[in-house]
Chain A
Amino acid sequence: MLAWTIYLSFIGAALVALVPSEKAVLARITALATAVLGFIVTLLAIAQGQATATLRDVVSVPWISAIGANYHLAADGISITLLLLTGIAAIAGVLFSWNVTRRVNQFFALYLTLIGGVYGVFLSFDLFLLFVFYEIAIIPKYFLIAIWGSTNKEYGAMKLALYSFVGSAMVMIGLIAAYVLAGAKTFDLIQLAQHPFAHSFQHWAFPLVFVGFAILAGLWPFHTWAPTGHVAAPTAASMLLAGVVMKLGAYGALRVAMTLFPDGLNAWRDEIGLLAVIGILYGAGVALVQKDFKFVIGYSSVSHMGFVLLGMMTLSVVGLSGAVLQMFSHGIIAGLLFAVVGRMVYDRAHTRELTALETMNLSRALPFAAVTFVLASVASMGLPGFSGFVAELQVLLGAWKVFPVYTVLAGIGILVGVAYTLRVLVKAFFGGVTPALNPGEKGHALAAITIPERIGAVMLLATTLLIGVYPRLLLDLIRPSFDSPLMQTLWKGTGQ
C-alpha cells in the first residue's frame, strides 16, 4: 500500500503535465489532491497496521536479472517518519505555491516528480532502486529553481544540480565496488549489509559514500549549494529542498553508508562528528551576519542539519532517534520559515533585504506572517513545547557520552541560533522604525495573507507543536527501528 505514495505522485505529475497551461486552478487542485492522497496513503497504512516500526516488505519482485537488482520496497519506522514528513511538506508546498501563475502545469509536474523520487528513496531497500530514485530527484530541482526562482537562479540551480550529481557519482562508485566485492549477485541492502567487507575497503568506501550522500544533507564544507540553492529557489522548492531533499542525503548516509560499512564508520566517526559541529557553529555564525532574510534561513538549515549528522555519529539509540526526529522536525520548521520568507514576505514586499524590511513594519502590515514567524522562530530556537527541542535535546544527550567537547560546542551553536533568530525576527518584523507612510503606499499596500497560506502555516505549526508536546507519536516509531538486524549492523564496528 505504501508503494502508492510513489505511484500516485508520478501519476499526478503526468496528469498535471497534461493540464492545459491556461487552467491554473485545475493544475493546482490536481497537485493538491495528489499531495493529500499521498499523505492519506501513509496515514492509512499506519492505521491499518501495515506500517509499523518493524521492518516489513511492501513489494519485492525481480527487476533486472542481469545485475540482480530487485524492485524491493520496504519500510520501517524511520522510513515512515520521513514519509509522513514528505507528505506534510508536499501539501504545504502546494498551498504556498498557490500564487504561481507562470507555466503552472509544468511547475507542479516537476514538483510532483520530485516528491515521487523522494518517496521512492525513503522506501527503497534495493540499492540500485534507491539510487535510481535518488537521481530522479535531481533534475526537477534544477528546473524548479532555474525557471521559477529568483536571485541568481541559474547559478543556484546549476550549482545544486552539479553538487547533487557529484555526490551521487561518489555514491555510485562506492555502490559498484561494494556490489562487486560482495559477489556481484545482489543490490539488496539487507543482504549487502551482512557482507563482511574488508576493513581496508571500508576505510575508503565509507567516507566516499557517506560524504556523497551527506553533500545533500549540507555537511560542512560541502554545504555551499544549500544557501545559494535555497535562496534562488521558489518558495515551494525551498521548502522541499530544506524540508525533504536535505533529509534524502541524511537518510542515505544513515541507511546506506553507515549500515554497509560499520568499520569505516567507526574509523571516521570523530572526523565526521567534528564536521557536523563545525557545520552547526559555522551555519549559525554566518546566519548571524546575513543581510538577506532568506540567506539567514538558508544558513540556519546548514546549522540544524549539523545536529542530524552529529546525532548519527553518536551511535546510540538516543542520539540516532534524536537525529531522525530532528530530520522530521527541521523539515517542518524550515518549511514554515521558508514559507514566511518566500511566500508571505517576499512575494508581497518584493525585497528580502533586512534593512529594507526594517522600514516596512511588517508586524503591522502582515500580522499573520509575524505571528507565524514568531512561533516558527521559537520552534527553530529549540524552545520546549516544539519538536526541535525534543530532537536536539536527544542528540545532545546521545552526544554527551561520546563527544563531550562537541556537545558543548553544539550547545553554543544553539545559543548562537537564538541570537540570529531574534536578530532576524526583530529586523524583519519589528523594525520599530515607523516611517510616515501615506496611506496606500507600501506597508499598507501589501496584499492580505490568503487562505491557502493560512491553512499551510497552521498545519505546519500544529505538527511541530504536536510532536513537541507528544514526541512519543514518532519516537515509538523511530526507536524500535534500530532493533532490526539491518540497523543493528551500525553497532558492529564499535564492538558494543
Chain B
Amino acid sequence: MNVDYGQIFLGLLPETIVVVTAFIALAVDLLFLREAPNRERFGFALLVVALGCIAAIVSLAQTSPPLRLLDGMLVLDGTARFIKQVILVLTIITAVTSLESNFTKHIGEYFALLLLAAIGMMLLVSSDNLLLIFVALELTSLPLYVLTAFNKSSVQSSEAALKYFLFGSMSAAFTLFGLSLLYGISNEITLGGIAAKLGGKLEPIFYVALVTTVIGFAFKIAAAPFHLWAPDAYQGAPTPVAAFIASGSKVASFFVLARIMMAGFAGTEGSAAWREILPGWVPLLAALAIASMVLGNIAAIAQSSVKRLLAYSAIAHAGYALLAILSNTQQAFGSLLYYVVTYAITALGAFAVVGVVENASNGEALRDFAGLSRRAPVLSFCMLVFVLSLAGIPPLAGFFGKFYVFTAAARSGTSLGLLWLVIAAIATSAISLYYYLQVLKQVYVVSAADNASPIRASWPVQISIVLLAIAVIALGCAPDLLLQKFTALQTFAGL
C-alpha cells in the first residue's frame, strides 16, 4: 500500500495542533507557573487553550476536496470538518466557563485532559474504521472519567467518576464485542465494506452484534434504560466537565452513532412503522427513543437539583435525537446535526449559568436559583433563553430543532408510518414544559432570600454565556444559517 504521509499529516493537522496545545498548557503550567496565584495560572492556560483551538478551527476552515485515507481510517469531508469546528468551539467555551469554578489546583492537567477529550471527539467524527472509532471513543471517555473526579475535595465527585467509569468501561466492552462480531461476520473493518458484505442478510449472530453495539452506544449517549450513570455523573462532576459531557461528547457520539447505523448497518433497517414493525436497527432505536423520552421527561419532574434535572432532560433529548437517527434519511441526518449542535450550545449555556450560581451560593438546588432575576439580570435572561430553548419554545433553536426532527421522522417511510413516534415525542415534550417552568419560576417568580447579594460572573464567562444565548436566538430565528452548511457540505460516502 502506498502511503502518502504528507497527506496524513495535513489531514490530521488540526488534531496535531490541539495535541501540541495540550502539551504546551501542561508544560508551561508545570515548569513556570507553579508558584503563581491560581487565577493567573487559569488565565494563562486558558489563553493557550483558546489560541490553540482557534488555530485548529482556522486550519479546518480551508475548503479542500474530501479526503479518504488509509482505507477509511481517516475520512475528512465538509460535514466532519464542520462538526470538528463545533467541537472546538464548545471546548473553548467550556474552558472559559471553568474560570468561574474553583475546584482544582491542577490547572495544567485539567486543560490538557480537556483537550485530549476534544481530540478523541475530533477523531471520532472523521473515521470510517471500526477500530479507530473504538480507539477514539476511548480517547474521549478516559479523560472525561478523570475530569469527573477532578474535584478532589468532594466525595460526590469521586463517586460520580467511579460510576461513570464503571458504566463506561462496561459500555466499551459491549461496543467492542459488537464491533468484533461485525468484523467476524463480514470480514470487513470499514462501515461501507460491512454494509456491502452484509447485503441485508440477517443471520442470528448479526443480531447479537447489532444489539451489543447499540447497547454500548446507548450507554454513551445516556439513552434509557442505559442512562443510570448520567444523573450522578452530571451532579457530581465539576460543572464545566458536566457541561462538556453534555455538549461536546454528545455531538460526537450522536454523529458517529448515526454513521454506524445509517452507513454500517445499511440494508438492515427493519421498520418501526406502526403495526408493521420488522426486525432491524430502526425498531431497536425506536424502543430506546421511546424509553428515553418517557423516562427522562417524567423523572425530571421530581428533581430538586438543577444539574440532575438537566441530566434527565439530556436523557429526554437523547430520545429526540435518536428519533432523527432512526428516520434514516438524508434530511433526517441534517436534522440530527442541527438538533445536536443547537442542543450542545444550549446545554453548555445552561450549565455555565448553573456553574456561576453554584459558585456564588454553594449549591445548585432549585431553591438556590430563587430570585436570580434580581441578583443577576443578564444571566437570568440567558438562563430563560436556554431553558425555553430546551423546552422547545419558538423562536429559539430548540424549537426548530425539535420541529425539524419531527417533520423528518414523519416524512420517512411511507404514509406517516413513524407518526406514532412523533406523537409520543410531542406528547412527552408537552410534559417537559412543567419542569422547565419550575426552574424559571425560581429565577423569575420566587423572591430571593433577604441576605442574597448580586451575583457577578467574571467578564469572559459573562460574555461567553451571552454569546451562547445570542446563538440560540439567532439559530432559532434563522435556522438556514446552520442548515445551509449541512446541505452545502458533502455528506459521507454511503449515506
Contacts and interface: CB of A to CB of B under 8 A. Distances in A.
Interface stretch (A178-186, A229-237, A291-299, A316-324): A178-186
A158 B441 CA distance: 10
A165 B391 CA distance: 10
A300 B221 CA distance: 51
B393 A176 contact: no
Given A169-B427, A173-B426, A132 B394 contact: yes
Contact of A132 (B399, B404, B426, B445): B399
B411 A154 contact: no
B404 A67 contact: yes
Contacts of B411: 180, 184
Interface string B436-449: 01001100110000
Interface in B350-405: 373, 388, 393-395, 399-400, 403-404
A37 B407 CA distance: 38
B416 A67 contact: no
Interface string A129-169: 00110011011001100110000001000100110011001
B487 interface: yes
A61 interface: no
Given A64-B400, A176-B410, A169 B430 contact: yes
A48 interface: no
B437 A158 contact: yes
A438 interface: no
B71 interface: no
Which of A106, A172, A181 is the most central at the interface, judged by chain B CB atoms within 10 Å of its CB? A172
B433 interface: yes
B395 A176 contact: no
A135 B410 contact: no
Given A173-B422, A173-B426, A65 B445 contact: no
Contacts of A131: 394
Interface in B429-487: 429-430, 433-434, 437, 440-441, 444-445, 479-480, 483-484, 487
Given A135-B399, A139-B388, A177 B483 contact: no
A180 B445 contact: no
B11 interface: no
Q: Is the interface of A mostly helix, strand, loop or mixed?
A: helix
Nearest to A146: B445
A166 B394 CA distance: 15
Contacts of B407: 67, 176, 179-180, 184
Nearest to A117: B394
Given A64-B479, A139-B388, A180-B407, A162 B444 contact: no
A436 interface: no
Contacts of A63: 480
A111 to B, nearest CB: 15
B406 interface: yes
Given A169-B426, A172-B426, A176-B410, A138 B393 contact: yes
Contact of B395 (A66, A136, A162, A166): A136
Nearest to B392: A135
A29 to B, nearest CB: 22
B168 interface: no
A165 B430 contact: yes
Contacts, number: 83
B334 interface: yes
Contacts of A64: 400, 479-480, 483
Contacts of B430: 162, 165-166, 169
B426 A154 contact: no
Contacts of B433: 161-162, 165
B211 interface: no
A176 B334 contact: no
B419 interface: yes
B86 to A, nearest CB: 18
B423 to A, nearest CB: 6
A289 to B, nearest CB: 31
A142 B439 CA distance: 13
B410 A147 contact: no
B393 A139 contact: yes
Nearest to A138: B393
A471 to B, nearest CB: 37
A309 B155 CA distance: 61
B444 A147 contact: yes
Interface string A281-308: 0000000000000000000000000000
Nearest to A184: B411
Given A158-B437, A161-B433, A180 B410 contact: yes
A285 to B, nearest CB: 31
A66 B416 contact: no
Contacts of A146: 441, 444-445
Contacts of B483: 64-66
B403 to A, nearest CB: 8
A177 B410 CA distance: 7
B480 A143 contact: no
A100 B345 CA distance: 37
A161 B419 contact: no
B394 A135 contact: yes
Nearest to A171: B426
A179 B426 CA distance: 16
A173 B423 contact: yes
A138 B480 CA distance: 25
Nearest to A153: B445
A147 B445 CA distance: 5
A246 to B, nearest CB: 20
B207 to A, nearest CB: 31
A315 B284 CA distance: 47
Contacts of B406: 172, 176
A66 B399 contact: no
Contact of A158 (B399, B423, B434): B434
A139 B429 CA distance: 15
A180 B413 CA distance: 11
A67 B441 CA distance: 34
A64 B487 CA distance: 13
Contacts of A181: 416
B437 A161 contact: yes
Nearest to A142: B437
Contacts of A143: 440, 444-445
Nearest to B338: A66
Contacts of B480: 63-66
A66 B334 contact: yes
Interface in B58-80: none
A177 B445 contact: no
Contacts of A65: 480, 483-484
A63 B403 CA distance: 15
A172 B424 CA distance: 12
A106 B377 CA distance: 11
A429 B404 CA distance: 55
A65 B400 CA distance: 13
A135 B393 contact: yes
Given A143-B444, A154-B445, A66 B426 contact: no
B487 to A, nearest CB: 7
A369 to B, nearest CB: 30
Contacts of A128: 403
A161 B411 CA distance: 30
Nearest to B415: A181
Nearest to A62: B480
Interface in A37-58: none
A135 B433 CA distance: 12
Given A161-B433, A165-B430, A184-B407, 4 more contacts: A66-B331, A66-B334, A67-B403, A166-B430
14 contacts: A64-B400, A67-B407, A135-B393, A136-B395, A143-B440, A146-B445, A158-B434, A169-B426, A173-B419, A176-B403, A176-B407, A176-B410, A180-B407, A184-B407
Interface of A: 63-67, 106, 128, 131-132, 135-136, 138-139, 142-143, 146-147, 154, 158, 161-162, 165-166, 169, 172-173, 176-177, 179-181, 184
| Minimum-distance CB pairs A-B, first 6 | A132-B394, A169-B430, A146-B445, A180-B410, A66-B483, A169-B426
